[in-house]
């Protein structure tokens, strides 16, 4: 994702308490479980902030396992909530819901550019949007947000565990998608387990660092930006 992040004043403590409680409440709805059936359609979701107060959310739908593009949509609009570290999903999720409503094809699985369970409160954007839409979801992020991990082996397809620094809990996996390229960080969001999330991310990789659903969502975001400027 591309983010516009100028200086932001410290967050209002009351707002932080409110958002923390909302994430706690959503966590009670989170289900980490295997998929009941292999997906036929998989969506890639990506959000970026062209300016501090606007957001562009893109969703592409691909046929799985062929990874043929079926549909692409976007929604561009204002974002009212201030940037608060650890709570970015509250800025992204409403616009993603608007974009999702435009789809003609309902995906079976959501692959989100961002984290799911690998979040300080286990509620990254992939978990947040999966719960809001009641869809199986997982995150594929370019950078680690929390936790510790060894480096995966150099061969594409290699993985390493991403664990909580204090408890040792497995919160994600580090996946090498391409030789001599930094790995990605895969974690389940909702209605999915870690093994399934990692397997889907790898099966959607086609020689690039990012799996095809989020890679194409990012690609089309750049194209759609030209329409909203």
Q: What residue segments make up the domains of the chain, in order of their start? A: 13-228
Span 115-148, pLDDT tens digits: 999 999 999 999 999 999 999 999 999 999 999 9
C-alpha 184/C-alpha 173 separation (Å) is 8
Roughly what angle, to the nearest 10 degrees, separates helices 89-100 and 125-133? Answer: 40
Q: Are 161 and 169 in contact (CB under 8 A)?
A: no
DSSP 209: S
CA dihedral 195, 130, 216, 184 (to 10 degrees): -40
Within the chain, residue ranges assigned H as helices are: 13-27, 89-100, 125-133, 194-203, 212-228
C-alpha 59/C-alpha 50 separation (Å) is 17
Q: pTM of the full predicted structure? A: 0.94
Q: Are 103 and 71 in contact (CB under 8 A)?
A: yes
* 13-228: in CATH 3.40.50.300: no
Span 192-203, pLDDT tens digits: 999 999 999 999
CA 98 to chain centre: 16
DSSP 200: H
Which of the four pLDDT bands, split at 50, 70 and 90, describes residue 80? confident
Span 15-65, pLDDT tens digits: 999 999 999 999 999 999 999 899 999 999 999 999 889 999 999 999 999
C-alpha 2/C-alpha 62 separation (Å) is 22
Report the b/e string of 173-188 with b at 16+ CB within 10 A: bbbbbeeeeebbbbbb
* pLDDT surpasses 50 at 104: yes
Share of the chain above pLDDT 90, in %: 88
State how far the alpha carbon of 209 is from the alpha carbons of 45, 91, 121, in Å. 16, 26, 27
- Per the listing, tokens 């996996």 go with 173
């Amino acid at each position: 994702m591309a983010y516009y992040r100028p200086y932001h004043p410290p967050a209002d403590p009351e707002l932080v308490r409110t958002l923390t409680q909302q994430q706690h409440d959503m966590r009670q709805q989170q289900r980490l479980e295997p998929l009941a059936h292999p997906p036929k359609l998989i969506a890639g979701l990506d959000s970026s902030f062209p300016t501090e107060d606007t957001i562009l959310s893109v969703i592409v739908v691909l046929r799985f396992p062929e990874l043929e593009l079926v549909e692409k949509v976007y929604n561009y609009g204002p974002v009212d909530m201030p940037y608060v570290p650890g709570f970015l999903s509250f800025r992204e999720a409403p616009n993603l819901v608007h974009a999702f409503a435009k789809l003609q094809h309902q995906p079976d699985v959501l692959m989100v550019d961002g984290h799911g369970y690998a979040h300080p409160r286990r509620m990254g954007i992939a978990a947040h949007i999966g719960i809001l839409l009641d869809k199986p979801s997982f995150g594929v992020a370019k950078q680690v947000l929390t936790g510790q991990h060894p480096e995966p082996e150099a061969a594409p397809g290699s993985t390493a565990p991403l664990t909580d620094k204090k408890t040792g809990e497995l919160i994600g996996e580090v996946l090498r998608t391409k030789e001599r390229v930094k790995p990605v960080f895969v974690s389940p969001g909702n209605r999915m387990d870690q093994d399934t999330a990692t397997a889907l991310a790898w099966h959607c990789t086609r020689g690039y660092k990012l799996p095809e659903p989020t890679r194409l969502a990012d690609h089309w975001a750049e194209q759609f930006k030209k329409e909203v400027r």
